[in-house]
Amino acid sequence: MVKLRLTRLGAKKRPYYRVVAADSHNKRDGKVIDLIGTYSPLEEVKYNIDEEKALSWLKKGAQPTDTVRSLFSKVGIMEKFHNSSKNK
C-alpha cells in the first residue's frame, strides 16, 4: 500500500520534512516513489505542497498519515479531494 508521509531531513534540532509517497513497508527515510512537497515547522512559510501531485496520489488510493492529512487540510487539498469524489 502507498502511504503519503513525512521523511525527516535537517540538522539536529532543526527539522525539515519532505512530504513523499512511499511504500508502507519501507523505512521512514527509505526509498520513496514521488516527492510531493516540503514542510518546515521552523520557517515563516511552513509548507510548499504540489497540489496536483497530492490530489493525483489521493485519487489513486494512497493513504495519508495523520500529520500529512492535517497539512493537506490546512492547504485545502482534502476539501478539494472530497468535493471531487462527491461529484462522481
**Per residue, what are the HEC states of 11-77?**
ECCEEEEEEEEEECCCCCCCCCCEEEEEECCCCCCCEEECHHHHHHHHHCCCEECHHHHHHHHHHCH
Q: Which residues of the chain have pLDDT under 50?
A: none
Q: How much is the pTM?
A: 0.84
Instruction: Assign a CATH topology to domain 2-86.
Output: S16 Ribosomal Protein; Chain: A; (3.30.1320)
| Amino acid 87: pLDDT | 66
